[in-house]
A and B are shown apart, each in its own frame.
Chain A
Amino acid sequence: METAVAMPLPVPDREARGRARRARKGGGMSSVVRGLIGVLLLATALGGFALATAAQNREVNVYSSRHYDTDAQLFAAFTARTGIRVNVIEGGEDQLIERIRAEGANSPADVLITVDAGRLWRAQQAGLLQPIASPVLMERVPANLRDPEGYWFGLTKRARVIMYARDRVDPSELSTYEALADPKWRGKILVRSSSHVYNQSLVGALIEAHGPEWTEQWARGLVANFARRPQGGDIDQIKAVAAGEGDIAIANTYYWVRLAKSDNPEERAAAAKVGVFFPNQGPGERGTHVNISGAGVVATSRNRDNAIAFLEFLVSDEAQEIFAKGNNEYPVVAGISLDPVLASLGTFREDEVSAARFGANNPLALMIMDRAGWR
């Protein structure tokens, strides 16, 4: 039970007035709290202004979704050659595109690098890229691996191929992507989720070749052949084939090469058990599906010349060598030597369809994969 606390009544006696005055003084925000809030706001504003007024002359701001450590070597080489500093922010390409879009006219981004052609097309459609006229880029990058108007350019190529268990599958049984829906492969196929751009572009290419209805039938057939629910990345699929969880995997070439060159003996053993097959090579077939990692200059870029110089560097011999040896990819420029293990896979005929078509077909590809149950 509370004891009676003497509540001061608003009686005009000296004591109460004194208490009232003291209470009024402390009754609002205490000065400490006020001071803290003020300092906080000031610090934020000052910090923001400081960042904004930083000089932007000898640098280029790169938003890159490439996630390979060897790229640091590339940027350092560019700075060494030209003296222009490279500021990099890495992230998923979709997130980077959203960020550039949200940053709007004041975006500091100069160059956007992605690992998929479809995303470059999407950035172009969203008005985030600007066309550049560079004879160097036009000449060194093949026509089907760049935008005809110069909005984006491919920097490296990667093939999405069929990898098979050497001891359980005879390569003569393999032929095309389309044949993978055949019931003879029931319970044998491993592939990653449809959420990944690599698969979306593959299906996009199939839509381009055969139309949406046929592709949906094909996707249903493929899903019926899955050895397990799509999970993990490309390397997980290759390792699962080596362990025996499935017989066939669909993966990118550089992942197999990475396993084959790994310091870890278990990974090398896994790669040795898996063979690489380039599909659609027969006469009259369209060739193996090839995707690009490419870049474009952002529309709101304030260092346009630096950005163009950067892109031109990336297709130079020096940079293409670093791409090839560093991440085991195929360079876009002709005449660059490949990594020896990659070269041992042999040559192959590429699907010549323009990479812009994957992007255009991307939303439809996702819907088809959803309906087919390819999670």
Chain B
Amino acid sequence: MASISSRREASAPQRTMVAPAWARAWGGRQLAWPLLTLGIAALLSVPTLTVLASVLVPPDAIWQHLATTVLPQYIANTLGLLLGVGVGVLVIGTGTAWLVTMCRFPGRGLWQWALLLPLAMPTYLVAYTYTDLLQFAGPVQSTLRAWFGWSRHDYWFPEIRSLEGAIAVMTLAFYPYVYLLARAAFLEQALGPLEVSRSLGRGPWHSFLTVALPLARPALAAGTALALMETLADFATVQYFAVDTFTTGIYRTWFGMGSLVTAAQLAACLLLFVFVVLALERLARGRARFHPTALGQRPLPAVPPFRLQGLRAAAAVVACLLPITLGFLVPGGVLLRMATSGGDPLAGAIFPQLARNSFTLAAVTGLLAVLLATLLAYGLRLAPSLLARLSTRIAVLGYAVPGTVIAVGILIPFGWLDRAVDSWAQAVLGRSAGLLLSGTIAGLIFAYLVRFLAVAFNTVESGLTRIAPSLDEAARSLGHGLSSTLVRVHAPLMRGSLLTAAMLVFVEVMKELPATLIVRPFNFDTLAIRVYRLATDERLAEASTAALAIVAVGLLPVIVLSLAIARSQPGRRPPP
């Protein structure tokens, strides 16, 4: 009886993984995983919840003022950004992933990994360089005016510092997220459906639209959601481009007007947009489940099925070359030119220290983030109760919250905790404990974890869901416990996802700016801080050396990722 009911439970479509009755009957120990999940999720939700708690305060006069003056602008710009960037990354990311996976054309092997390069370039650097290049006083327009003898009102040139400019820059910076996940999804698709499609007379384009795309929906939805959350959280780019969104409004209201409460209420509005994005993602994923079945899986052949020739091949090359050029080569080139013709007068002395700081922070945070994400994802898989799902969703919300807001959401509870520990220490030990959490590296790493857990979690979770529940049950029947299954069965299978997650978090921490500015300890600067400091003082040329250093270091994980991609070519055993 127990075996029949457990099989039925295990094959129920709604729940991926429930501890079978025979395991629950042994009770006790099984609480460890759900509790761990809840604990981690609760800890990481503290900053977000602290911010949301300010919403309980009734709106004051400042809110009325905002609502009548700037709030409509914030909403319009935010919606415009979401729509523009969403469509942009979907088109570019999916299109290039399909071309590179399924079609044969010149340079395919190169484009496969080169399309990742914009990941290494922080969005704000792309913004700074394009502004420097395309603004009215910049070289492009100045040359045009000199050649044709035009003055200001004689010609039209697209304004770079605008909503459209911000959409373009963010699309170029964020399409690799969609590209990565779409490519992995296309690679995994069994050849069967595509061959059927071809045998029914559909060409590459038609197969793509009607067969491959729907199958890849979850991956596309996850990638787009990541890109949109990054868009919502971005501050430096929209501030530089003079586009007023919720993030700039939060800064202005909190710091300029000194009203933390109203700023938190704006932050809560921002989180509303995030909920909408996440809900859309869930909707787009659909109810289907996508486990590669053991039987009937024919890996893609080494040579991709569709061959492009002539004009089509040229178009494919241009389609791949364009995002790489605009998203990486042009900004990189501008920075190189600035660095070689000016550069940072303090480059030699403090650089090793800055680089060391950035590197250490990024490495530690990457490892911790993957560890926590794995624990969370596995705990969710074991016991997907409503509470666990909800708390995990809140824990990963940090990604869409601007770094400054997270920093404040951290400073407040840390400050409270430090004061509490201090008074305890005074009472019991007779001396002050000082500041344990505020202004320490631990506080900074915690801020990064809150901010970037979503990156690690989405990657790890998508890797975990690709493992069929039957493997869990097989492992269990062979005597493995829950954690043993995770360590010895799931982890090796998920190696690729774990590595991807660690690398993505590494790159993100290297580029991170706003939270670092507020939470960092004394005498502790990173490369990103150096760039920001110089750029906001309008000394972009002097910031170029530090900026190139960020890009160079950011290239390392991109190279590793691309090697992993090269290894996962069709025809070889695909790593998970």
Listed in ascending order, the chain A residues whose CB lies under 8 Å from chain B are 2, 5-10, 19-20, 22-30, 32-33, 36, 40, 44-45, 47-49, 51-53, 61, 67-69, 87-92, 94-95, 98-99, 102-108, 122, 193, 195, 200, 228-236, 239-240, 242-245, 255, 263-264, 270, 362-363, 366-367, 370-371, 375
Is B301 positioned at the interface, with any CB of A under 8 Å from its CB? no
Residue in chain B with minimal CB distance to A1: B295
Which positions 220-235 of chain B face chain A at CB distance < 8 Å? none
A9 contacts B483, CB within 8 Å? no
Residue in chain B with minimal CB distance to A102: B411
A32 CA / B166 CA spacing, docked (Å): 47
B255 contacts A95, CB within 8 Å? yes
A49 CA / B442 CA spacing, docked (Å): 12
A33 CA / B342 CA spacing, docked (Å): 50
Contacts of A122 in B (CB 8 A): 258
Taking the closest CB of chain B, its distance from the CB of A25, in whole angstroms, is 7
Contact status of A47 and B441, CB under 8 A, knowing A102-B411, A106-B434, A363-B258: yes
Known: A29-B483, A106-B418, A264-B342. 20 other contacts (CB 8 A): A6-B3, A7-B7, A27-B30, A27-B481, A40-B368, A48-B435, A48-B442, A49-B434, A89-B520, A92-B255, A104-B415, A106-B432, A108-B522, A228-B136, A229-B242, A232-B161, A236-B135, A240-B137, A367-B65, A370-B65
Contacts of B432 in A (CB 8 A): 52, 106
A99 contacts B440, CB within 8 Å? no
Which positions 291-337 of chain B face chain A at CB distance < 8 Å? none
Contacts of A235 in B (CB 8 A): 538
Is B422 positioned at the interface, with any CB of A under 8 Å from its CB? yes
Residue in chain A with minimal CB distance to B73: A375
Residue in chain A with minimal CB distance to B436: A48
A234 CA / B479 CA spacing, docked (Å): 69
Is B151 positioned at the interface, with any CB of A under 8 Å from its CB? yes
Is B140 positioned at the interface, with any CB of A under 8 Å from its CB? no
A25 CA / B244 CA spacing, docked (Å): 57
Residue in B242, B371, B407, B484 whose beta carbon sits within 8 Å of that of A231 in the complex: B242
Taking the closest CB of chain B, its distance from the CB of A29, in whole angstroms, is 5
B6 contacts A7, CB within 8 Å? yes
Q: Is the interface of A mostly helix, strand, loop or mixed?
A: helix
Q: Is the interface of B mostly helix, strand, loop or mixed?
A: helix
Contact status of A9 and B415, CB under 8 A, knowing A29-B36, A94-B255: no
Is B69 positioned at the interface, with any CB of A under 8 Å from its CB? yes
Is B198 positioned at the interface, with any CB of A under 8 Å from its CB? no
Is B404 positioned at the interface, with any CB of A under 8 Å from its CB? yes
Contact status of A61 and B522, CB under 8 A, knowing A44-B442, A102-B438, A233-B538: yes
Contacts of B422 in A (CB 8 A): 105-106
A-contact 0/1 string along B41-59, CB 8 Å cutoff: 0000000000000000000
Taking the closest CB of chain B, its distance from the CB of A262, in whole angstroms, is 10
A51 contacts B440, CB within 8 Å? yes
Which of A2, A106, A255 has the largest number of chain B CB atoms within 10 A? A106
Residue in chain B with minimal CB distance to A235: B538
A23 CA / B477 CA spacing, docked (Å): 10
A370 contacts B69, CB within 8 Å? yes
Residue in B242, B255, B439 whose beta carbon sits within 8 Å of that of A108 in the complex: B439
Contact status of A195 and B252, CB under 8 A, knowing A22-B479, A102-B411: yes
Contacts of A95 in B (CB 8 A): 255, 404, 407, 517-518
In the complex, identify which listed stretch (B18-26, B178-186, B211-219) lies at the interface while the others stay far away.
B18-26
Which of A2, A9, A20, A245 has the largest number of chain B CB atoms within 10 A? A2
Contacts of A91 in B (CB 8 A): 517-518
Q: Can you list 18 contacts pairing A with B, beta carbon distance less than 8 Å? A: A2-B7, A6-B3, A7-B477, A27-B30, A28-B29, A30-B487, A36-B371, A52-B436, A67-B537, A92-B517, A95-B407, A98-B254, A103-B415, A195-B256, A231-B242, A232-B161, A233-B537, A244-B136
A94 contacts B26, CB within 8 Å? no
Residue in chain A with minimal CB distance to B61: A367
Contact status of A19 and B479, CB under 8 A, knowing A28-B32, A195-B252: yes
Is B104 positioned at the interface, with any CB of A under 8 Å from its CB? no
A87 contacts B342, CB within 8 Å? no
A263 CA / B6 CA spacing, docked (Å): 77
Contacts of B466 in A (CB 8 A): none
Contacts of B287 in A (CB 8 A): none
Contact status of A240 and B538, CB under 8 A, knowing A26-B483, A89-B520, A106-B434: no
Contacts of A6 in B (CB 8 A): 3, 477
A234 contacts B538, CB within 8 Å? yes
A47 contacts B440, CB within 8 Å? yes
Contacts of A362 in B (CB 8 A): 256, 258
B251 contacts A195, CB within 8 Å? yes
Contacts of B32 in A (CB 8 A): 27-29
A78 CA / B161 CA spacing, docked (Å): 43
A366 CA / B65 CA spacing, docked (Å): 11
Is B541 positioned at the interface, with any CB of A under 8 Å from its CB? yes
Contacts of B70 in A (CB 8 A): 370
Contacts of A25 in B (CB 8 A): 481
Residue in chain A with minimal CB distance to B139: A266
A255 CA / B414 CA spacing, docked (Å): 39
A103 contacts B438, CB within 8 Å? yes
